[in-house]
Chains A and B, each alone.
Chain A
Amino acid sequence: MGTYEPILTKGIGELDLTEIEVYRKTGGYEQLRRAVREMEPDAIVDTVMKSNLRGRGGAGFPTGRKWSFLPKDGRPRYLVCNCDEAEPGTFKDRMLLEKTPHQVIEGIMVSAYAIRAARAFIYIRGEMLEGYEIFCRALGEARQAGLVGEKICGGEWGCELVVHRGAGAYICGEETGLLNSLEGKRGEPRLKPPFPATAGAYNMPTVVNNVETLAYVTQILARGAEWFAAIGPVKSPGPKIVSVSGHVRKPGNYEVPLGISIRELIYEVAGGFRDGRTFKAVQPGGGSSACLFEEHLDTPYDFDSIAAAGSMLGSGAVVVMDDTADMLECALVLQRFFAHESCGQCTPCREGTHWSEAMLERLLEGRGRKLDVDLLGTIGDKIAGHSLCALGDASVPFLQSVVKRFPEEFLRGAARLPGVPLLAAAAR
Chain B
Amino acid sequence: MRTSFEELRAELQPEIDRIVAQYPQRRSALLPLVHLFQDRIGYAPPEVVDYVAETCGVTAAQCESVISFYTLFYRRPIGKYNLQVCRNLSCTLRGAKQVMERFRERLGIDHLQTTDDGLFSYEEVECLAACDRAPCMQVNLRFVYDLTPELVDEMIAAMRAGAYHVKPLAQTEPPPREVRGPAWPRAHRKSAGAVGVPNPDNASGVGDRDGSEAARRLRREGVAALAAPGRFADAQTIDAILAAPNDGAVMEGHG
Q: Give chain A's interface residues, CB within 8 Å of chain B.
A: 1, 4, 6, 9, 12-14, 16, 76, 85-91, 93-95, 98-99, 119, 125-130, 132-133, 136-137, 139-140, 160, 162, 164-170, 181-188, 201-202, 243-247, 249-256, 269-271, 283, 287, 317, 319, 321, 325, 329-330, 333-334, 336-337, 340-341, 343, 428
Contact = CB atoms under 8 A, between A and B. Distances in A.
B88 A88 contact: yes
A187 B70 contact: yes
Max chain B CB contacts within 10 Å: which of A140, A244, A256?
Answer: A244
A333 B204 contact: no
A252 B88 CA distance: 17
22 contacts: A1-B196, A89-B127, A90-B129, A126-B35, A126-B72, A127-B72, A127-B125, A129-B169, A129-B170, A164-B28, A164-B31, A166-B72, A184-B30, A245-B93, A246-B90, A246-B93, A251-B133, A319-B131, A333-B89, A334-B88, A337-B89, A340-B126
Interface string B183-210: 0000000000111111111111000000
Contacts of B16: none
Contacts of B174: 133, 136-137, 139-140
Interface string B17-28: 000001111011
Nearest to A139: B174
A342 B159 CA distance: 34
Contacts of A12: 197-201
A252 B126 contact: no
Size class of the B contact interface (CB-based, 8 Å): 35 or more
Given A183-B27, A333-B89, A245 B194 contact: no
Interface stretch (B114-122, B134-142, B147-155, B234-242): B134-142
B94 interface: yes
B196 A269 contact: yes
Given A89-B127, A337-B126, A255 B90 contact: no
A255 B197 contact: yes
B66 interface: yes
B204 A130 contact: yes
Given A13-B199, A160-B22, A319 B90 contact: yes
B24 A251 contact: no
Contacts of B132: 91, 243-245, 251-253
Contact of A270 (B30, B128, B196): B196
Contacts of B213: 16
Contact of B69 (A127, A186, A317): A186
A385 B69 CA distance: 24
A356 B198 CA distance: 41
Nearest to B96: A333
Given A91-B131, A91-B132, A137-B174, 5 more contacts: A86-B127, A136-B170, A256-B196, A321-B93, A337-B88
Those 3 A-B pairs whose CB atoms lie nearest each other, nearest first: A13-B199, A252-B195, A184-B30
A389 B173 CA distance: 34
Given A167-B71, A252-B193, A136 B173 contact: yes
Contacts of A250: 193-196
Contacts of A188: 69
Nearest to B86: A88
Nearest to A331: B89
Contacts of B177: 137
B196 A88 contact: no
Nearest to A249: B193
B158 interface: no
A94 B129 contact: yes
Contacts of A136: 170, 172-175
B90 A88 contact: yes
B89 A89 contact: yes
A126 to B, nearest CB: 5
Contacts of A137: 174-175, 177
Contacts of B34: 167
Interface in B234-253: none
Contacts of A340: 126
Nearest to B71: A168
Given A86-B126, A91-B130, A184-B31, A13 B197 contact: yes
Given A137-B177, A246-B90, A325-B93, A9 B27 contact: no
A106 to B, nearest CB: 18
A428 B197 contact: no
